Structure 1
Amino acid sequence: MALSYEKIVDLLKEKNYRLTDIRLAIIKILTTNEHLTLAEIVEQLEKEFKNVNLMSVYNTIDLLLREHIVFTNTFDGKQIWYDLAQNPSVHMICDACKNVVHITDSEILQKIDLINLSEGMKKMAWEPIHFKIEGHGLCSNCLNSGEGHNHFDDDLD
């Protein structure tokens, strides 16, 4: 489950971080949206603040990454997207239309065998901390429209 705005603020207060208006606004944006780029975060901030100091935005994002409050994703291999940290963090990406869906359904998440993945990591002398899993395929819209059929489809059957 994702962290709430209040929980994030409390975590940062406990560690004596300054909670500036811009920092609080960034946290609010991240708790109410998914898959945001830095440009989208700045765009939303500009609705509330006249002059957005990009260095403050970068510093806040760095802080949230360092404290494992936010994860980065690069679904298209180019653009970095930010999401609140969840464990596991599971996304489905349509390779045709590039739609990204964050999987939160507990029934689906239970079918992901994280126990065996964790045990495998431990056998390799790694301590599991969190999992980011991404599945690629075709969404129902693209599948029904016939878009995105590629040569890999036959290999999956």
Structure 2
Amino acid sequence: MATFDDALAYLKGENIRITPQRIAILEFLTEVPTHPTAEEVYRAIEEKFPGISVATVYNNLKLFTEIGFLREMNYGSSSSRYDFAITPHYHVICQKCGKVSDFFYPRLDDVEMAAERLTDYQIQSHRLEIYGLCPTCKNITE
């Protein structure tokens, strides 16, 4: 999926009910430049939808992930973060505050091919994470 409109058209094409809450969650995910947790999504839309539950948010995030236009990113024991996956990219994660930033780099297809040759696995995908301190946390420690 590339945009909110593309995602909405896909949902309609699959005969998935389009609710105001679902639209609000989808709008937030496509507009926010960060990688929010389910709790952050909930907090962002609860004012507009006071009756919405955290379970509704989780259920919709799960649906969007299963459909394939949202990627769940789980980093250890912390809460999962969600990425409205538009193009292949990688992530840099702050070890202090947990901020996740995208960076684009040519796909590492040669690494997948090498892993396949060396292990005899049938490689289907890969994920690259780089850890460090974000500019804000770096400036606090200096």
TM over 0.5: yes
Matches within 5 A, 1:127-146: 127-128=123-124, 130-140=125-135, 142-143=137-138
Larger radius of gyration: 1
Matched residue, 1:126: 122
DSSP 3-state at the match of 1:69:
coil
Do the aligned partners of residues 95 and 59 (structure 1) sit closer, same or farther apart at CA in structure 2, a change above 3 Å counting? closer
Instruction: Flag structure 2 segments of 5+ consecutive residues without an equivalent.
Output: none
Worse overlay, 79-88 or 5-14: 79-88
Do the aligned partners of residues 20 and 102 (structure 1) sit closer, same or farther apart at CA in structure 2, a change above 3 Å counting? same
Deviations 1:63-107 (A, max 9, x none): 111111111123463121111124523111232443321114xxx
Q: CA deviation at 1:116?
A: 0.7
Is the contact made by 2:38 and 2:81 (CA closer than 8 Å) also made in structure 1? Answer: yes
Is the contact made by 2:39 and 2:54 (CA closer than 8 Å) also made in structure 1? Answer: no
Q: Runs ≥4 in structure 1, deviation > 6 angstroms?
A: none
Is the contact made by 1:8 and 1:69 (CA closer than 8 Å) also made in structure 2? Answer: yes
Instruction: Flag structure 1 segments of 5+ consecutive residues without an equivalent.
Output: 148-157
Q: CA deviation at 1:146?
A: 5.1
TM-score for both structures, normalised by structure 1: 0.73
Do the aligned partners of residues 140 and 23 (structure 1) sit closer, same or farther apart at CA in structure 2, a change above 3 Å counting? closer
Is the contact made by 1:87 and 1:131 (CA closer than 8 Å) also made in structure 2? Answer: no
Q: How big is the alpha-carbon RMSD for the aligned residues of Structure 1 and Structure 2?
A: 2.5
DSSP 3-state at the match of 1:47:
coil
How far apart, CA to CA, are the structure 1 residues paired with 2:86 and 2:96? 26
DSSP 3-state at the match of 1:50:
coil
DSSP 3-state at the match of 1:48:
coil
Is the contact made by 2:112 and 2:126 (CA closer than 8 Å) also made in structure 1? Answer: no
Letter in 2 for 1:7: D
Is the contact made by 1:75 and 1:93 (CA closer than 8 Å) also made in structure 2? Answer: no
TM-score for both structures, normalised by structure 2: 0.80
How far apart, CA to CA, are the structure 2 residues paired with 1:72 and 1:4? 18
Is the contact made by 1:87 and 1:132 (CA closer than 8 Å) also made in structure 2? Answer: no
